[in-house]
């Protein structure tokens, strides 16, 4: 595929089931002379299976600027390039955004292909009734930063979509329960793979459910939280709690009084008071 209209194709690849590769994506990967891949060793078996003869360019989070320069060089020479990540859609919690931005800035053509995305795949089977969703991706790995990020999302009325790794899923779910209180959590694991599971339950029960079976902690996760209810606290509960705690009231008493004043659930206020007390 060498011509004056050389293109960077943004190509989604399967999350786990190779049959999910679209016919258009397969055609592109088989006909372009270059494939820019997040991990060339990981993508090698897929390219081999479909008979792709393209040469590869490493394009991961640690070399995006250098990879972009090489890709632009190929495009300006009339050679098209397909950009892929290890799984799913490039640029969605994966490398690719900087490359696309650089290619656009260089005046070259970018064509996106629709396809696999873990966030929308999980949402479609979540059963949540929220009309809107906010995709966050991966939360910070450090506990304090993670809780701070969750706090900033606490009053969002839409469903919240996160990605998480298996070695952090327990602490992330624990932090969610502390920050959000009573919500519904959908835990989607190993999507499209042999041991795929999608489970919805009250957020307060999620940590115990995960701990009950070590197998539930394995694989790559999409975590979806229901949005804040329409009658959720608009900051009044926290304001009252801060005033009561500043007066020296114990956490339990402050939560009880705040519930009487604001009409909010005492348990949620108690959990919030514990967080405020430790800040």
215 and 151 both lie in a single domain: yes
251 and 207 both lie in a single domain: no
Is residue 49 packed enough to be buried (19+ CB in 10 Å), middle (13-18) or exposed (0-12)? exposed
Q: Is residue 3 predicted with pLDDT exceeding 60?
A: no
Q: Please give the radius of gyration of the chain, using alpha carbons only, rounded to the nearest integer.
A: 23
Q: How many structural domains compose the chain? A: 3
pLDDT grade for 268, boundaries at 50, 70 and 90: confident
Residue 230 confidence (pLDDT): 65
State phi, psi for 231 to the nearest 5 degrees.
-95, 25
- At 213, list the tokens: 């079976």
Average pLDDT estimate for 71-88? 97
Among 116, 138, 155, identify where a domain stops: 116
164 and 259 both lie in a single domain: no
Cα–Cα distance measured from residue 59 to residue 54, given in angstroms and rounded to the nearest whole number: 15
175 and 128 both lie in a single domain: yes
78 and 147 both lie in a single domain: no
pLDDT grade for 255, boundaries at 50, 70 and 90: confident
230 within domain boundaries: no
Instruction: Pick the more confident residue, 49 or 4.
Output: 49
Among 225, 247, 267, identify where a domain stops: 225
18 within domain boundaries: yes
Q: Enter the pTM of the model.
A: 0.81
Q: Is residue 125 predicted with pLDDT exceeding 60?
A: yes
pLDDT digits (tens, 9 = 90+) for 15-60: 999 999 999 999 999 999 999 999 999 999 999 999 999 999 999 9
Domain of 83, CATH number, reads 3.40.1010.10
Which among 198, 194, 197, 217 has a CA at the least distance from the CA of 207?
217
Lowest-confidence segment of 86-95, 211-220, 268-277 by average pLDDT: 268-277
Structural domain boundaries, residue 162: 119-225
Residue 2 confidence (pLDDT): 47
Task: Give the contacts of 114 (CB within 8 A, at least 6 positions apart).
Answer: 12, 22
Lowest-confidence segment of 178-182, 188-192, 206-210 by average pLDDT: 178-182
Average pLDDT estimate for 202-217? 96
54 and 150 both lie in a single domain: no
Average pLDDT estimate for 194-204? 95
125 and 220 both lie in a single domain: yes
100 and 157 both lie in a single domain: no
Domain of 144, CATH number, reads 3.30.950.10
145 within domain boundaries: yes
Lowest-confidence segment of 101-110, 156-165, 223-232, 263-272 by average pLDDT: 263-272
């Amino acid at each position: 595929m060498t011509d004056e209209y050389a293109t960077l194709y943004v190509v989604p690849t399967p999350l786990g089931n190779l049959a999910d590769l679209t016919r258009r994506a397969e055609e592109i990967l088989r006909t372009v002379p270059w494939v820019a891949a997040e991990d060339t060793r990981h993508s090698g078996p897929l390219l081999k299976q479909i008979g792709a003869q393209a040469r590869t360019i490493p394009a991961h989070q640690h070399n995006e600027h250098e990879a972009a320069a090489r890709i632009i060089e190929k495009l300006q020479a009339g050679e098209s390039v397909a950009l892929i990540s290890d799984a799913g859609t490039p640029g969605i919690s994966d490398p690719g955004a900087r490359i696309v931005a650089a290619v656009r800035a260089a005046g070259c053509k970018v064509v996106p292909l629709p396809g696999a995305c873990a966030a929308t795949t999980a949402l479609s089977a979540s059963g949540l009734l929220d009309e809107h969703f906010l995709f966050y991706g991966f939360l910070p790995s450090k506990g304090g930063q993670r809780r701070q990020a969750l706090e900033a999302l606490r009053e969002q009325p839409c469903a919240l979509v996160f990605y998480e790794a298996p070695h952090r899923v327990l602490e992330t779910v624990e932090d969610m329960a502390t920050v959000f209180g009573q919500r519904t959590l959908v835990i989607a694991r190993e999507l499209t793979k042999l041991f795929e599971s999608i489970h919805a339950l009250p957020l307060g029960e999620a940590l115990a459910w995960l701990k009950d079976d070590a197998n539930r902690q394995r694989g790559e996760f999409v975590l979806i939280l229901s949005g804040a209810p329409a009658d959720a606290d608009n900051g009044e509960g926290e304001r009252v709690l801060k005033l009561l705690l500043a007066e020296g009231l114990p956490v339990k008493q402050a939560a009880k009084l705040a519930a009487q004043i604001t009409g909010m659930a005492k348990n949620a206020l108690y959990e919030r008071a514990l967080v405020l007390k430790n800040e």
